[in-house]
Structure 1
Amino acid sequence: MNGRTYTADAEPGDTVTIAGWLHETRDLGGIAFLILRDTSGKIQVKLEKDEMDDALVETGLDASRESVLKVEGDVKEEPRAPTGVEVVPTSIEVIAEAETQLPLDPSGKVDAELPTRLNNRTLDLRREEAKAVFEIRAEVLRAVREAFRSFAATEINTPKIVATGTEGGTELFPISYFGEEAFMNQSPQLFKQLMVGSGLERVFEIGPIFRAEEHNTPRHLNEATSIDFESAFFDHTEAMDVCEAVVKAAYEAVAENCERELEALGLDEEFAVPDGEFPRLTYEEAIQRINATGALDEQLVWGDDLPTEGEHALGQDVGEHYFITDWPSEIKPFYIKDHDDDETLSTGFDMMHPRMELVSGGQREHRYEELIAGFEQQGLDPEAFDYYTKMFKYGMPPHAGWGLGAERLIMTMLDLDNIREAVLFPRDRQRLSP
């Protein structure tokens, strides 16, 4: 809209055209106020009934809440107004009338259940708290990209429709692809490994992944956003160094650039950037510490995966972000390399928030024969992955990397109750629309 002024930029003495949503109407008799909201904030519009054109006042007072208005007028200083200024209008135009019965209250005065909010996401994001989550999410992704580029990584985009699953199993979404069966990709894992064998060497990607997992929990999604990194000539410890730096960069950027959003979420006083190096516990140390908490009915033994209750107990015990390293080879994917001096130990690692796992990574198996053996050990057909395995015959360097769940990072960073709050339009077992 030509000549439009954002509400936050309106200064006393200005003649402005502002446009936004009617947040609230306050009719006090001889005087009334319209609170107009745009993406930058809110501003008060003053209607003096006896001194203004009747049609102008009527247009303003008849407008329903959440209608889109365009207001032209003069900005006056008013200390009693919410932002210290108000607009005295010379014209008011209703651009788009809203129905009087709304599915939820964008002012936030009346709470709505999460399903109602997700069913009406456009309205929901008119709430300051909901909008703040996605402003912060955007800042996290910006900071992550900047951090990757500081490590000389090239951004890539890999296919999301594939002929075979990244890790096999039942977690695949099949689709019809010109009469042939194809799948939505579970991870860019195999493609980003191929890239480190190309002239790019060090790459990152931020993109969707798809998992047909049979779950319905506050921390799982069937379509998620994965932040992935892979580098040639890296081992697992160097990959962990980058992982830690990227997560810290995300927190630092939010602390520096999202003060208004943190305040909207009530986090401005308690938001803290992770300090110091993340502890690195071996898998063996992790199960010993979980067992020592007494949180589980049965003691964990070598080779067990960590149950959710165990992760929570360990997270409370550690109290900060941390890594779990040196996992048993048998419970990590085929592409994870074993330690050279102990084939029972993998170079796989997980990076944890006290609430949940955020990252899975490790050094990759770059030797062709060992890679094929890994496929066979996990019951996968190497020939189905020929596009991937054959490139390991042509000079594949040692390499390592990881994948970080963007929504889990946001969820834990902002202490959200449900991961769906960090997704604009979540996809889970019950939700395919909107």
Structure 2
Amino acid sequence: MLDRTYTADAEPGDHVTVAGWVHEIRDLGGIAFVILRDKTGQIQVKFEKDEMDEELVETGLGVHRESVVAVTGEVEEEPRAPTGVEVTPESVDVLAEADPELPLDPSGKVDAELPTRLNNRTLDLRKPEVKAVFEIRAEILRSAREAFRDLGCTEINTPKIVATGTEGGTELFPITYFGEEAFMNQSPQLFKQLMVGSGLERVFEIGPIFRAEEHNTPRHLNEATSIDFESAFFDHTDAMDACEHVVKAAYEGVAENCQQQLEALDLADEFEVPEGEFPRLSYEEAIERINATGELDTQLVWGDDLPTEGEKALGDDVGGHYFVTDWPSEIKPFYIKDHDDDEQLSTGFDLMHPRMELVSGGQREHRFDRLVEGFEQQGLDPDSFDYYTKMFRYGMPPHAGWGLGGERLVMTMLGLQNIREAVLFPRDRQRLSP
């Protein structure tokens, strides 16, 4: 392969081979420039037509934009060049010619609609601001993993093909599994609970989840990335502490390691790591504050879920991340434990960004009899979950945890308008390819 130098590493006086995509060609008559782009940036290649081999000039200037080329030559200082240096070529090798008609403009000079971008994601990521989103996403996941390890967690991987859904209902994608009906998993919830009952005690997972919801909104996906945590001997307040730690660590990682990417997104000056503790509002206080804003046509009452308009009104009122705690038991899943002194209140909580919900969590019901009662109250057959419930007969410790939407974290952190911008190849009601 090529003995290649990245464009960002090319220094005056070096003899290099740089390789990448033809970003732009500027022909000024007797002199012309090819702007070459790789993952680290761009570099100018100078062609002095009267002083160079004619075939070399024709090769260098005859390629179409986005063709892949390798250029070998001397690096010289040039203050007028975009990066302060330029390459005088000795050879130009065309490694892959691009069609002259591109489905979108990677230079960004001509805007493309989101469907066109998603249909041509490879070209789309050649734009620095789009590439930056996914480099930041990678840093968020790296930082989250480090934060989990700080908490003493073991990373696990749980099945994505299951015999029963985590929460039942119509949100399941059925598949045929060797002649039997199976489903794509909605959540690692039940499996991660089983692991806190094992010798691992405290676990996390970052992986795909599948929801057959027929939403078609800028913040819903049918395949998403869930960042999950579960710990033995934790209650819901401990779980909220862990959640806050991981979210802040993700912001800190981006602030520390992604300045170039934030600049590409014009966010470098305004990006802030959340400071202080996230406020913890009870569900009752949340609906009172939403009602007080006057933003809803009808007042919320006990037992209502928080509508999108209500979340936005409360988010504007709070002005930052916050938890909503002590939800009514009737609107939380069967595995969420109720408060010991009030069975009408659950230990469930949500972490909210001012724009939307990011996290759902709570303390889990670890007592076998109470767990089975919860199944029955929600119309689920406990026998269908025997692999799960029977383990609660063998010494299941008190435990708590949560699940965080990975794409929603990226979306809210970077101010993206559509969650599909935070996914390489989104899956929704209309999109199954690419």
TM bracket (short chain): over 0.9
2:169 match: secondary structure: coil
Match of 1:402 in 2: 402
1:371 match: secondary structure: helix
Which aligned pairs between 1:108-257 and structure 2 lie closer than 5 A? 108-257=108-257
The CA distance in 1 between the partners of 2:299 and 2:335, in whole Å, is: 29
Letter in 2 for 1:328: P
The CA distance in 2 between the partners of 1:93 and 1:268, in whole Å, is: 37
Match of 1:361 in 2: 361
The CA distance in 2 between the partners of 1:235 and 1:56, in whole Å, is: 70
Deviation at 1:368, TM superposition (A): 0.1
The CA distance in 2 between the partners of 1:266 and 1:8, in whole Å, is: 21
Letter in 2 for 1:108: G
2:386 match: secondary structure: helix
Which aligned pairs between 1:319-338 and structure 2 lie closer than 5 A? 319-338=319-338
Letter in 2 for 1:57: V
2:148 match: secondary structure: helix
Match of 2:79 in 1: 79
2:51 match: secondary structure: coil
Which aligned pairs between 1:16-55 and structure 2 lie closer than 5 A? 16-55=16-55
Letter in 2 for 1:410: V
Which aligned pairs between 1:288-367 and structure 2 lie closer than 5 A? 288-367=288-367
Deviation at 1:223, TM superposition (A): 0.1
1:39-76 CA distance string (max 9 Å, x none): 00000000000111000000011000000001000000
Deviation at 1:2, TM superposition (A): 3.3
Letter in 2 for 1:73: G
Match of 1:263 in 2: 263
Match of 1:377 in 2: 377
1:245-278 CA distance string (max 9 Å, x none): 1000000010110000000001011000001000
Which aligned pairs between 1:412-431 and structure 2 lie closer than 5 A? 412-431=412-431
Letter in 2 for 1:248: K
Match of 2:68 in 1: 68
The count of aligned residue pairs is 434
Letter in 2 for 1:47: F
The CA distance in 2 between the partners of 1:254 and 1:421, in whole Å, is: 18
1:365-416 CA distance string (max 9 Å, x none): 0000000000000000000000000000000000000000000000000000
Deviation at 1:31, TM superposition (A): 0.3
Structure 1 gap ranges (5+): none
1:117 match: secondary structure: helix
Deviation at 1:3, TM superposition (A): 1.2
1:227-252 CA distance string (max 9 Å, x none): 00000000000000000010000000
The CA distance in 1 between the partners of 2:288 and 2:163, in whole Å, is: 41
Across the aligned residues of Structure 1 and Structure 2, the Cα RMSD in angstroms comes to 0.4
Deviation at 1:192, TM superposition (A): 0.1
The CA distance in 2 between the partners of 1:14 and 1:340, in whole Å, is: 72
1:55-114 CA distance string (max 9 Å, x none): 000001100000000100000000110000000000001110000000000000000000
The CA distance in 1 between the partners of 2:295 and 2:186, in whole Å, is: 32
The CA distance in 1 between the partners of 2:24 and 2:410, in whole Å, is: 31
1:209 match: secondary structure: strand
The share of aligned pairs that are identical, in percent, is 83
The CA distance in 2 between the partners of 1:2 and 1:346, in whole Å, is: 61
The CA distance in 2 between the partners of 1:10 and 1:52, in whole Å, is: 22
Structure 2 gap ranges (5+): none
The CA distance in 2 between the partners of 1:128 and 1:111, in whole Å, is: 14
The CA distance in 1 between the partners of 2:403 and 2:100, in whole Å, is: 46
1:139 match: secondary structure: helix
2:192 match: secondary structure: helix
Deviation at 1:38, TM superposition (A): 0.3
Letter in 1 for 2:145: R
- Runs ≥4 in structure 1, deviation > 3 angstroms? none
Question: TM-score, normalization: structure 2?
Answer: 1.00
Match of 1:93 in 2: 93
1:305 match: secondary structure: coil
2:50 match: secondary structure: coil
2:115 match: secondary structure: helix
Question: TM-score, normalization: structure 1?
Answer: 1.00
The CA distance in 1 between the partners of 2:68 and 2:80, in whole Å, is: 25
Say if 2:424 is the partner of 1:432.
no
The CA distance in 2 between the partners of 1:48 and 1:231, in whole Å, is: 66
